[in-house]
Amino acid sequence: MTDTFDMAALRAELSRDEGRRSRPYYDTRMRCTIGVGRNIDDNGLREDEIDYLLTNDLHAAMADLDHNLPWWRSLDPVRQRVMANMMFGMGWPTFSQFARFFSAVHQHRWSDAATEMINSRWHNQVGDRALRLEQMMRTGNAAP
């Protein structure tokens, strides 16, 4: 007789018993929980889980850019990172309101694009992040 642990069966049982939640909720002990009984109040996330989430979120942000502004891929790598960073932070519903910025970037008017960034509410909300990204957009050089 072979003694093999059936991980698939355990996963199915726990999914049934705990439920599967894509959004945080409070369990019976009022602990913030997500997924299949993952107590994030006590356990948080491991580094590999944080990286996994970040990678998925970056792919989603870039897919939104591809769908809405397909020309962004023709930019140099530094300015592509600026676009992806802003999209990641804002999401398309908010980022879509940057029409003058998009026009300036698309036309390679880097100083104008940076000025649009400076003149936005976003600039005041994100502080140093905006300053770094504005400089990257203006110069095409990575910020330290």
Q: What is the pLDDT of residues 89-103, one digit of tens each?
A: 999 999 999 999 999
Quote the pLDDT of residue 144. Answer: 78
* Same structural domain, 131 and 66: yes
* Same structural domain, 55 and 26: no
* Same structural domain, 24 and 61: no
Q: Is residue 12 part of a domain?
A: yes
* Same structural domain, 58 and 27: no
Quote the pLDDT of residue 3. Answer: 72
- What is the pTM for the complete model shown? 0.87
* Same structural domain, 21 and 86: no
Structurally, the chain folds into a number of domains equal to: 2
What lies within 8 Å, CB to CB, of 80 at 6+ separation is 72, 73
β-strand 38-39 against 21-26: which pairing, if any?
Answer: unpaired
* Structure confidence by residue, pLDDT tens digits, 20-44: 999 999 999 999 999 999 999 999 9
* Same structural domain, 68 and 112: yes
Which residues on adjacent β-strands are paired with residue 35?
Answer: 21
Quote the pLDDT of residue 1. Answer: 55
Q: Is residue 112 part of a domain?
A: yes
Domain assignment of residue 21, given as a range = 7-43
Kindly report the number of other CB atoms within 10 A of residue 87's CB atom. 24
